[in-house]
Amino acid sequence: MPALNDILTQVSDSLYSTFLVWLLIGAGLYFTIRTRGVQLRHSIPIAGSMVGSRASGGRSLSSFQAFAVGLACRVGTGNIVGVALALILGGPGAILWMWVVALLGTATAFTESTLAQVLKVRHRDGSFRGGPPYYIAKGLRLPWLGAVFAVFFLVANGLSMPLVQSNAVAGALGAAGAIPAWGSALIVVALTAPVLLGGLKAIGRVAEILAPLMAAAYLLAVLGIVVTHPAASWQALTSIIEGAFGLRSGLAGLAGGVVQAILNGVRRGLFSNEAGLGGAACASGSAAVRHPVQQGFIQALGVVIDTILVCTATALAILIAGDAVYTPGVTGKDAAGSLTQDAIALLVGEWTRWPMAILIVVLAYTTIIGAFSYAQVCLDYLTENRWVSKALQCAAVACAALGAFQALTTVWTLADILLGVGAIINLVALVALIGWVLGALRDWEAQRRQGVEPVFIGHGNPLLPGDTNDGVWEAAPSAQA
């Protein structure tokens, strides 16, 4: 097992440190150029995209529920531990490069979520399914490649994710209150089983409450720190800018230099907002909306909330705490797991350790249910057999229980590789199918110029490369919910 883990680690590091990072950046630039900077030109509609998105989608997810499921996966333990690691390795300047990559990521998130809507299909129960397997099958006419993506994504999100997130819950509860592993396992199962066994609609109902609530609570807590420490807050922002461009010595991370600030910021930003990995597209394709661009906008907003707001909040809390918890170039990697908690405990009080532990538990929990929804969409592409679906749900619950008992580095690394390979397939498909997205965007813009509320019809639409799937977008969208 150690030898296998070493091999998997080398493969994962090679994939994520070089090739996939640059592929995601290149894709983000390409989508920004082809959409003529959709994230800037339509920043106001993006900012207001949640207005009216709570309407029921019937058996399908509402637009807001699909957004919340994506947010549940984006805003997770990586926003706390991952940002701390970026600061340690790349210094404060890494945060500015996270902002830059988030700007590109909004275009990628818009592209994949809009495409998932355009080429979604009807499920047997009348609801919708969409995402990479479906638009690969329809747009590229390669159903076997869609199946390959579905298998990779199903295993990584449906089985590996419950294992590793349950392990994170056990660690947080054990550190805060010496709760044994079996106790953590019972808590995780009690929380996840009713939701996972309830299917996509149940996941959407839980995610639309918990994901925004936890993100808002965390942001408000850090906002209180910023307001009560104005001088330190200004100094923290200054160090981010100076560190990004090497303007002041002493701000480099352990890896050293401006290049490492860029690489670590880019890497953490890309894999925090998940734009291009295909997961949020799975949630987006399950939503009932009047126009595909509506869901593209709301998922682009999710990238902003994840990286610009939540990740920045973590960085500010650590930097405001200062040398007492974090010193650029000195603090070691082993401190990343507790760095944010240590910073908040120093600034607010030791009493915050339990609330932070609970926050981590909830973030891990929402990540489990959000990731499972991606797996369910992929399984529905492979088969609509109810018993197979029920078996996956039971297996995910079992994994959530088992994960509390041991560290699962091999499983986590394997999941990383599967997600990385899936991301490559997804990005190639997005580039090849950009015409569908541009057509939908032009359709939305044309209707807005006419002063009407955009609605989408995908059959006989001259702006599209072809007709959408049968049974979808054939009539006014109000009839599809």
- What are the residue boundaries of the structural domains of the chain, listed by start? 9-431
Q: Please state the φ and ψ torsions of residue 358, each to the nearest 5 degrees.
A: -65, -40
pLDDT band at 292, cuts 50/70/90?
very high
Residue 121, beta-bridge partner list = 129
Task: Report how far residue 68's alpha carbon sits from residue 212's, in angstroms, rounded to the nearest whole number.
Answer: 7
Query: pTM value?
Result: 0.87
* Nearest Cα residue to 301 out of 97, 70, 455: 70
Q: What is the pLDDT of residue 256?
A: 67
Q: What is the pLDDT of residue 442?
A: 96
* Nearest Cα residue to 119 out of 135, 102, 101, 143: 135
Asked if 143 and 137 count as a contact pair (C-beta separation under 8 A), the reply is yes
Give the rounded distance of the alpha carbon of 49 from its chain centre. 18
User: Could you tell me which residue, 70 or 438, shows the higher pLDDT?
Assistant: 438
Convert the pLDDT of each residue in 207-232 to its tens digit: 777 777 878 888 888 899 999 999 99
Asked if 443 and 117 count as a contact pair (C-beta separation under 8 A), the reply is no
Convert the pLDDT of each residue in 394-450 to its tens digit: 888 888 788 777 666 666 677 778 888 888 999 999 999 999 999 999 999 999 999
Task: Report how far residue 99's alpha carbon sits from residue 265's, in angstroms, rounded to the nearest whole number.
Answer: 8
Residue 363 reports pLDDT greater than 60: yes
DSSP H helical ranges for 229-256: 230-244
Dihedral over Cα of 238, 242, 243, 248: its sign? negative
Please compute the mean of the pLDDT values over residues 331-358 and round it to a whole number: 82
Q: What one-letter code names the amino acid at 164?
A: V
Task: Report how far residue 156's alpha carbon sits from residue 418's, in angstroms, rounded to the nearest whole number.
Answer: 6
Convert the pLDDT of each residue in 383-394 to its tens digit: 888 888 888 888
Q: What is the pLDDT of residue 178?
A: 67
Pairing relationship of beta strands 121-122 and 128-129 according to DSSP bridges: antiparallel
Please compute the mean of the pLDDT values over residues 319-325 and round it to a whole number: 87
C-alpha distances in Å from residue 172, one per residue of 72, 184, 207, 350, 416: 18, 9, 21, 15, 22
Any residues with CB less than 8 A from the CB of 235 and at least 6 apart, and which? 319
Q: What is the pLDDT of residue 273?
A: 75
Task: Report how far residue 286's alpha carbon sits from residue 278's, in angstroms, rounded to the nearest whole number.
Answer: 13
Of 138-142, 278-282, 352-356, least confident by mean pLDDT is 352-356
Asked if 313 and 320 count as a contact pair (C-beta separation under 8 A), the reply is no
- DSSP character for 55? S
Please give the full DSSP string across 86-112, using - where no structure is assigned.
HHHHH-TTHHHHHHHHHHHHHHHHHHH
Residue 242 reports pLDDT greater than 70: yes
Residue 57 reports pLDDT greater than 70: no
353-382 and 132-139 are packed helices; what angle lies between their axes, rounded to 10 degrees?
Answer: 30
Q: What one-letter code names the amino acid at 338?
A: S
Please give the full DSSP string across 336-352, using - where no structure is assigned.
HHHHHHHHHHHHH-GGG
Q: What one-letter code names the amino acid at 152?
A: F
Most confident segment among 40-54, 80-94, 99-113: 99-113
Please compute the mean of the pLDDT values over residues 244-269 and round it to a whole number: 73
Convert the pLDDT of each residue in 21-52 to its tens digit: 888 889 999 999 999 999 999 989 888 877 66
In the chain, count H helices and then E strands: 22, 2
Q: What is the mean pLDDT of the chain?
A: 83
Q: What is the pLDDT of residue 288?
A: 84
Asked if 297 and 49 count as a contact pair (C-beta separation under 8 A), the reply is yes
C-alpha distances in Å from residue 277, one per residue of 171, 309, 345, 425: 27, 20, 34, 9
Q: What is the pLDDT of residue 479?
A: 41
- DSSP character for 16? I
Q: For 27, what's the count of Cα atoms within 13 Å in the CB-facing half-sphere?
A: 30
pLDDT band at 115, cuts 50/70/90?
very high
Q: What is the pLDDT of residue 73?
A: 72
Q: SS3 breakdown of the chain: % helix, strand, coil, rounded to 5?
A: 75, 0, 25
Residue 474 reports pLDDT greater than 90: no
Asked if 316 and 227 count as a contact pair (C-beta separation under 8 A), the reply is no
Please compute the mean of the pLDDT values over residues 126-130 and round it to a whole number: 85
Give the rounded distance of the alpha carbon of 215 from its chain centre. 13
Residue range 9-431, CATH number: 1.10.4160
Asked if 73 and 279 count as a contact pair (C-beta separation under 8 A), the reply is yes
